[in-house]
Structure 1
Amino acid sequence: MNDTIFALATARGRAGVAVIRISGPAAVEAATRLAGAVPDPRQAALRVLRGADGAAIDRGLVLYFPKGASFTGENVVELQVHGSPAVVAALSRELGAMPGLRMAEAGEFTRRAFENGCMDLAQVEGLADLIDAETDRQRAQALRMLSGALGQRAEVWRADLLRAAALLEATIDFADEEVPVDVSDEVRGLIDRCRASLAAEIEGARAAERVRDGFEVAIVGPPNVGKSTLLNALARREAALTSEIAGTTRDVIEVRMDLEGLPVTLVDTAGLRETEDHVERLGVERARSRAAEADLRVILTEPGQPPAIEPAEEDIVTPAKADLHGDGISGLTGQGIDALVAAVVSRLEARVAHSPVATRERHRQAMLAAVEALETARDGLAQGPDRYDICAEDLRSAIRALESLTGRIDVENVLGEIFASFCIGK
């Protein structure tokens, strides 16, 4: 990372302000060529930015963040200029012509922050999620990741397992009067505490992933029961074609929505019935498949008729076309819409009630691998001191799995724990 990179940090196109970020060993020199002088660290200064020929390009603010106190951990200079495509292009040409400078690759500023120890891998993922957040719940969850919540929790697990491994290693290699003769109870307690905490986090990881990616709620029922009308009412636009002719909807129609801060994709499906029409039959098969995969189903029924599919425990079953029959819900008049939305939100909120910090399948798999290693270690511990060496290796496997959460790999700290706890080699 000896080269210096630069890029537009704000969205392309016309805007009130554009920010060009420069990071690397030549950042200050490059900014000095443009601005004549760089202000003191973290102090904004108004400067005229000039090209190599001395002609003014624009007037804007220059900010300097020194190495070790910047986003990337390197010297960083930010140019806040007028958001004109012409200004951005001219400054980019000037920077690109300077020796040792090049345009940054996608995500390279964040990668440098990770490689310089300014962010762990989970925080990098949290930053990406924050940028992509569309709802308030997604924003809050991503911000929790970006703040290092997963890394902090992983560090607690890691510290417990380092302690457990250190106890076993001390028993194996450094047994003397200063080392406890039987460490199995303490090791078992550390393993059980870590395993229980991991299990709770794993249980909520799928729900957290759904907050990030979005929940899917399928509207199902027989033909001409009002599914598309309900979808349009919820979306507040004509997202689906409606008709009095049964079987109008033959394919899946999706609408992305924000329900009380939760990202939800509403899925309108083909009416469920037996049919000889080949195209409609394919639509019915696809409807059944999407309904089975959905996180929640809103099942509309005809008055006095059973549901078209067997409802799961949390599914919402309600009579349709209340404007004609009085009870239930009506997408045409809006009757029951607020209650339906509240019921959907309540069921989805319950799934994310304990605010897990692991939000990706990668996190869940790493934690599952750690739990599996801990279970093996606990079984080995029960077999006595002759298995302690294998048990210690299982603990190291669990530690490595947890280190993959944040991109941290450092098994030498096991020895550090031994020396700190037992004064080995004093």
Structure 2
Amino acid sequence: MSRRDETIFALSSGALPSGVAVVRLSGPESGAAVTALVGQWPEPRRAALRTLRAGDGSVIDRGLVLWLPGPASFTGEDMAEFQVHGGPAVVAALLARLADLPRLRAAEPGEFTRRAFLAGRIDLAEAEGLADLVAAETEAQRRQAIRQSGGALSRQAEAWRTRIVTMRALIEAELDFPDEDDVPGSVSDAVWSEAAALLAEIETALADAGRGERLRRGYEVVLTGPPNAGKSSLLNALARRDAAIVTEEPGTTRDLIEVRLDLDGLPVILVDSAGLRDAAGRVEQEGIRRARERAAAADLVLWLSPADAPVEPERPASGVPLLVLRTKCDLTAGRPDDRSAGVPPAEGDGSGALGWGPAGGGDRGGDRAGAGMGLPVSAATGEGLDRLRAEIVARAGVALGRGEDPLITRARHREALTAAADGLRRALSFDTLPLELRAEDLRAAGDAIGRITGRVGVEDLLDVIFGQFCIGK
């Protein structure tokens, strides 16, 4: 638990060694720490070149010092920054010097941002946006994080909550002053009309297919198929590095191997899995179980079958879209058309195609069958890989909402808005109940929305949310 009377410090820049390292302080002793290291405060909010000294007067380094007095700072407290050369020894000496000063201690993960939240400088949704911005790996994730850290969700949630507060105030006026001429008897009718409109807006936000959450975690593509179908080779070819071990021995891959890719600005997670077969040892059986479990939860399954072998896909029971790839097509070049041997007829029932088809909506169960034989690919020659990448990008773009800006980016937001919608729905449905009880449902809906920004009842969530930050943020 953070104590506001303590001054915290941490390295807030990247891994060492680096060109420059930034050490950040926040708390009431920040000014005293600056004085102890450089002799006097620089002018507020202006970088000054100073010599930083250890307790015995020896030089630690020469660097830039910034003095940022509160409350006009990120945390709302007095803050300071030391920008020094990014050598491990330099930073270690500086941190050791700060640790020797009274009432200073090393910061916990996310503690600077937590102090900013507690001081009212940012709200909880904006803090989560900052965490997402630090973790963003692709352009699409960066844009979403910028919107949330800039208050897009917060502004909408506050607007919804304000409307509920207004509705409750009107109902309270009708309850408290039923005989007053300036409180018209039809006021509750207007309230319930407004509640219905608000419920429709929240339901629209909830009906986004989880695009914001999926964008945060990435579009997951699981490679499945029989042993030695070329799954690991294809993973390495798409990743353009040796991420998985490749041998001619069946059952080489026994555990799941993940590779995170940035495809056209979209986050895609490729997952290599154990080859599916009946005759397998105990360890391999566990790998097969995990492969099937992961495929059932994926956004897309690629079934790999050698070009000269029959195609017998194992479709996930969950109805995840499945595309067939005919691998090692370079080995059948020039032969009669062996690649179509044993290929099942195309299926177009919308429950997940067997074959190579168009993006088909990108969501589960949205495929239409294409050519029954699947897409020929070769990890050795690169044949078909560009088309495969384009297909994955097209499907990921649909699933993640390319060009759209979903409000909801975390399960916590969805749970809060679902609870708010439930409260509004109860208030609207039970129109025979006393007005006081229906007003209580409105209050519950408003409180649920307030939890998004941290206005209401989030104390038990703070450790979880801010624990996701790196130290120094």
Q: For the superposition of Structure 1 and Structure 2, which TM-score range results when normalised by the shorter chain?
A: 0.7 to 0.9
Task: Look up the match of 1:414.
Answer: none
1:334 Cα offset (Å) = 1.3
> 1-side partners of 2:40 and 2:70: how far apart?
18
Counterpart check, 1:84 vs 2:93: no
Determine which of 379, 382, 392 is the counterpart of 1:334: 382
Task: Look up the match of 1:359.
Answer: 409
Secondary structure of 1:37 counterpart:
coil
Matching residue's letter, 1:362: R
Task: Look up the match of 1:315.
Answer: 322
Matching residue's letter, 2:314: I
State the Cα deviation string for residues 312-339 of structure 1 (Å, max 9, x = none): 4743234333324566222222111111
> 2-side partners of 1:364 and 1:379: how far apart?
22
Map 1:271-350; keep pairs closer than 5 Å.
271-275=275-279, 279-301=283-305, 305-310=310-315, 312=319, 314-325=321-332, 328-350=376-398
Q: With structure 2 as the length reference, what TM-score do the two structures score?
A: 0.79
Cα distance change of structure 1 residues 376 and 139 upon mapping to structure 2, 3 Å threshold: same
1:99 Cα offset (Å) = 3.2
Cα distance change of structure 1 residues 88 and 290 upon mapping to structure 2, 3 Å threshold: closer
Secondary structure of 1:357 counterpart:
coil
Determine which of 111, 115, 118 is the counterpart of 2:118: 115
Cα distance change of structure 1 residues 113 and 344 upon mapping to structure 2, 3 Å threshold: same
State the Cα deviation string for residues 123-158 of structure 1 (Å, max 9, x = none): 222222222222222222222221122111111211
Contact 2:24 2:79 in 1 (8 A): yes
Counterpart check, 1:402 vs 2:409: no
Counterpart check, 1:10 vs 2:13: yes
Contact 2:224 2:231 in 1 (8 A): yes
Let me know the Cα RMSD of the aligned residues: 2.5
State the Cα deviation string for residues 206-232 of structure 1 (Å, max 9, x = none): 332222222321112233333222222
Secondary structure of 1:204 counterpart:
coil
Secondary structure of 1:91 counterpart:
helix
Cα distance change of structure 1 residues 182 and 305 upon mapping to structure 2, 3 Å threshold: farther
Q: With structure 1 as the length reference, what TM-score do the two structures score?
A: 0.87
Task: Look up the match of 1:161.
Answer: 164
Structure 1: segments with no counterpart, 5+ residues: 411-426
Matching residue's letter, 1:212: R
State the 4+ residue runs in structure 1 displaced beyond 6 angstroms: none
> 2-side partners of 1:133 and 1:89: how far apart?
28
Matching residue's letter, 1:132: A
| Identity score, percent | 49
State the Cα deviation string for residues 367-409 of structure 1 (Å, max 9, x = none): 11111111111113x32xx521111111111111111111113
Query: Structure 1 or 2: larger helix share?
Result: 1
Matching residue's letter, 1:315: L
Secondary structure of 1:87 counterpart:
helix
Task: Look up the match of 1:181.
Answer: 185
Task: Look up the match of 1:134.
Answer: 137
Map 1:59-78; keep pairs closer than 5 Å.
59-78=62-81
Secondary structure of 1:266 counterpart:
strand
Counterpart check, 1:21 vs 2:71: no
Task: Look up the match of 1:260.
Answer: 264
Task: Look up the match of 2:35.
Answer: 32
Secondary structure of 1:178 counterpart:
coil
> 2-side partners of 1:64 and 1:266: how far apart?
46
Cα distance change of structure 1 residues 99 and 244 upon mapping to structure 2, 3 Å threshold: closer
> 2-side partners of 1:135 and 1:214: how far apart?
10
Secondary structure of 2:210 counterpart:
helix
